[in-house]
Structure 1
Amino acid sequence: MEQGSTAATAAGPEPAARHHGNRHGRSEQARQAVLEAADGLLVEKGFTGVTIEGIATRAGVAKQTVYRWWKTKTDILLDAFLQDAAEALTPPDHGDLAPDLRAHLRQLALFLTRSDAGAVFRALIGHAQHDPAFAAALRSGYLDEQRRRDRLPLERAVQRGQLAAGLDMAAEIDQLVGPVYHRVLVTAEPVDQAFTDRLVEAFLHRADVTDVADAGEMGSR
């Protein structure tokens, strides 16, 4: 999925491979076209302006082709968003917790505020307030999986000896990423690099993180 240029540039990720679940290349190409069309239409027209007919026309496919994979426009937008999130929000591994967390939170902030996928996310969150079944699907499809990705830098730091094994990771993840979502979805305050870096510094101080060089020395003893 194509995201906003700012988020992609900031993170500098390698282009992610397309899905290959369908053996027929032409069908998979059509599926990707539908997902990209849904993203683009939502950014241009807003949630209420997106229709199955409009998505099919933008993607250059028959409406029946769309219904082959999805029942509603919300299902399409959720699939598009989940693909974008998996590609953009897997934390990097620099071999050191501090740069890993700084890069991850910066990318999360850019993804949610400056990319097309972020616009999709905000629309889906709004829709979830009125559709309990969809809210459950969003929670299991994105929120649970993203929390697993958010934990990766901390889990790697525990393995390197930078963090104590008994750390309450769920609580710490809430304090790291929760303020980002709060600003994006509630207050609309800036979520700039200075803000995300402060969140990281507060965590490093709170968790008494061991320097990566010191951790290496301890592990070699």
Structure 2
Amino acid sequence: MRGPGLAMVKGGGDEADSAPRRGRPRSVETTNAILESAYALMAATGLAATTIDAIARHSSVSKMTIYKWWPSREALLIDAFLHHAAQMLPLPPESSGTPAARTRRHAAAYAEALQDEFGKVQLAVISECISKTGSAELFYARYLQFRRDALVQMIAAGQKDGSIQAVGQPEDLYDAIYGSLFYRYVFGIAPITPAFARTMVDLVLRPKD
């Protein structure tokens, strides 16, 4: 099973563009209103109450527009979570340190975010996907894949330049870090803190810095 998602923005900011387009081009303002309304409702009232009707009322956008831009309610919920996560947990840029240092900061930020509404919403969206489709593939395809691939590439770059001394496959190293954080969060095994996340990165990646 692949580890949970990390929040970054493909192309710099509007992941809602991953939804299929039909008809006239989208308005960025309207798209953001829909995504922000969907996330606000998920966080405040839970997924059951976050219906297309409720999102339309909250965002002042017609249901017809929402149905044009998203193939399913689950896809919209994932994109709303993604939109929020992209702003909350951007991947540190290359100029901000070594691959290991950037992974350490990102993992710490993810661990901190899990303690707030972000963690509850992420788990609820994944559960909704599994309930409706029988798997988490939709969540992986719309949310996790790009983030996982980008961090795997960052870890591989650290192995190549010698700043990361771990010799395993970068995909496995990523999963060991973020899968462990998510596993502990889901089952409440132990408190998840930024300090724990940084320690996990160091244990797995064996960085020089």
Q: Shorter-chain TM-score category?
A: 0.7 to 0.9
Q: Is the 8 A contact 2:37 2:59 kept in 1?
A: yes
- Give the direction of change, closer, same or farther, for the CA distance of 1:72–1:155 in structure 2 (3 Å limit): same
Matched, 1:102 2:104: yes
* Greater shift in the superposed pair: 93-102 or 162-171: 162-171
Q: Alpha-carbon deviation of 1:204?
A: 4.2
Change (3 A) 1:46 1:19: closer
Contact in 1 for aligned 2:52/2:63 (Cα 8 Å): yes
Greater Cα offset, 83-92 or 189-198: 83-92
Deviations 1:78-133 (A, max 9, x none): 111233344524244333244222201012223333254x4331111111332336
| Superposed CA RMSD | 3.2
Q: Give structure 2 stretches of 5+ with no counterpart.
A: 1-11
Unaligned runs of 5+ in 1: 1-15, 213-221
- 2:187 counterpart of 1:186: yes
Rounded to whole Å, the distance in 1 between the matches of 2:15 and 2:124 is 24
Q: Does 1 or 2 have the higher relative contact order (CA < 8 Å, sep 6+)?
A: 2
Q: Higher mean Cα deviation, 27-36 or 67-76?
A: 67-76
Conservation of the 8 A alpha-carbon contact between 2:153 and 2:170 = no
Aligned to 1:74: 74
Distance in 1 between the 2:13 and 2:86 partners? 11
- Give, as a single letter, the amino acid of the residue that structure 2 aligns with 1:90: L
TM-score of the two chains, using structure 1 as the length reference: 0.73
> How far apart are 1:19 and its partner, in Å?
6.6
Q: How does 1:15-34 map to 2 (within 5 A)?
A: 17-18=13-14, 27-34=27-34
1:45 CA displacement: 0.8
- The residue identity in structure 2 corresponding to 1:187 is G
AA in 1 matched with 2:148? R
1:70 and 1:76 in contact (8 A); partners too: yes
Q: Which digits, 9 at most, give the CA deviation of each residue in 1:120-172, with x for residues without a partner?
A: 31111111332336622112222322221322431231342324695321222
Between the aligned partners of 2:43 and 2:16, the Cα distance in structure 1 is: 26
Out of 162-171 and 97-106, give the one that drifted further: 162-171
Q: What's 1:169 paired with?
A: 170
Of 82-91 and 185-194, the range deviating more from structure 2: 82-91
Q: Identity over aligned residues, as a percent?
A: 27
CA shift at 1:59, angstroms?
Answer: 0.4
Residue 44 (str. 1) matches residue 44 (str. 2):
yes
Aligned pairs, number: 194
Greater helix share, structure number: 1
1:109–1:191 CA contact under 8 A, matched in 2: yes
TM normalised by structure 2 equals 0.76
Q: Which runs of 4+ in 1 moved over 4 A?
A: 16-22
Partner of 2:3: none
Deviations 1:162-203 (A, max 9, x none): 246953212221221111111222226421122112202212
